[in-house]
Amino acid sequence: MDILQSIKSALAPPHKAGYPFIGGGVVALILGLILLHLLAWLGLVFTLFCLYFFRDPDRVPPPRETAILAPADGLVVRVDSAAPPPELGLPATPVPRIAIFLSVLDVHVNRIPHTGTIEKIVYHPGKFLNAADDKAADENERNALRIKIPDGRELAVVQIAGLIARRILCDVVPGERVVTGARFGIIRFGSRTDIYMPPGTLPLVAVGQRMTGGETVVAELAPP
């Protein structure tokens, strides 16, 4: 079953953010077939890479109201407590945080970790350090979302650019109601996604575990 799921994921249709890159690769392939065989090979390789990188498989979130899901595919690199980004206006006290590093081989579509309403979205320019670095959460370019869940508590999801990432895309807007597991954006070419959860939330993952965005339960909400 895991092998079949991996094949389905690899062959999933691309996210719309990949269309310009895939189109460019196809154009290079066609020109190469007419003018230069080397260009054709480069166009083919680039097109196949973009089809793989921008793949956007469907995900099935578990029906658990207290579950917080992984906002991205990738490797857990931090399970700790930290204050949310100051630009979101949340209390500056440490709360449970889980950080997920995405390599260029991971699905880069970001997903909503819990049903709620987008209260605030803030883009913060910055550096492009290795996303797994301790300083990346504070110094790298990022896009932060503040989400109010139905019981009134709030959590934050932060899209962080990485060493070779140069574009963060976010498809939701303040005031929009979002549901668990829904797509909300993508980061191009290597990145990190952090989630800051309400006080008392119990993390259920450990550093080194691999996540499936929109499906893996990363934490359990404490009773309000």
Both 36 and 99 in one domain: the answer is no
Helix 19-34 vs helix 37-53: angle between axes, to the nearest 10 degrees?
160
Do 185 and 143 meet the contact criterion of CB atoms below 8 Å apart? yes
Query: What's the chain's Rg over C-alpha atoms?
Result: 18
Total domains present in the chain = 2
- Residues 143-166: what's their mean pLDDT? 89
SS3 50: helix
Structural domain span for residue 16: 2-53
Both 46 and 136 in one domain: the answer is no
Do 148 and 165 meet the contact criterion of CB atoms below 8 Å apart? no
**Helix segments in the chain, DSSP class H:** 2-10, 19-34, 37-53, 136-139
Domain CATH for 102: 2.70.70.10
At 1 the pLDDT is 43
Both 87 and 193 in one domain: the answer is yes
Tens of pLDDT, residue by residue over 139-149, are 788 999 999 99
Assess if residue 144 is contained within a domain: yes
pLDDT band at 190 (very low <50, low <70, confident <90, very high): low
Assess if residue 176 is contained within a domain: yes
Assess if residue 152 is contained within a domain: yes
Both 45 and 90 in one domain: the answer is no
Amino acid at 98: I
Both 76 and 183 in one domain: the answer is yes
CA gap 59, 182 in Å, rounded? 9
End-to-end CA distance of the chain: 38
Residue 103 known to be catalytic: no
- Residues 149-171: what's their mean pLDDT? 86
Both 76 and 25 in one domain: the answer is no
- Residues 36-59: what's their mean pLDDT? 87
Both 195 and 95 in one domain: the answer is yes
Both 44 and 104 in one domain: the answer is no
Assess if residue 114 is contained within a domain: yes
CA gap 155, 201 in Å, rounded? 10
Both 205 and 108 in one domain: the answer is yes
> Which tokens in the block code for residue 196?
């800051």
Active-site residue, selected from the candidate residues 9, 81, 103, 191: 191
> Which tokens in the block code for residue 60?
């099935």
Tens of pLDDT, residue by residue over 78-105, are 999 999 999 999 999 999 999 999 988 8
Assess if residue 59 is contained within a domain: no
Both 103 and 186 in one domain: the answer is yes
Question: What does the buried/exposed string (b/e) look like for 119-144 if buried means 16 or more CB atoms within 10 Å of the residue's CB?
Answer: bbbbebeeebbebbbeebbbebbbbb
Query: In Å, how far are 112, 126, 162, 164, 171 from 130, measured between CA atoms?
Result: 24, 12, 5, 8, 25
At 7 the pLDDT is 61
Assess if residue 143 is contained within a domain: yes
Assess if residue 61 is contained within a domain: no
* Residue closest to 8 by CA, chosen among 43, 67, 60: 60
Assess if residue 102 is contained within a domain: yes
Does position 159 have pLDDT exceeding 80, yes or no?
Answer: yes
Both 20 and 116 in one domain: the answer is no
pLDDT band at 188 (very low <50, low <70, confident <90, very high): confident
At 83 the pLDDT is 95
CA gap 199, 186 in Å, rounded? 27
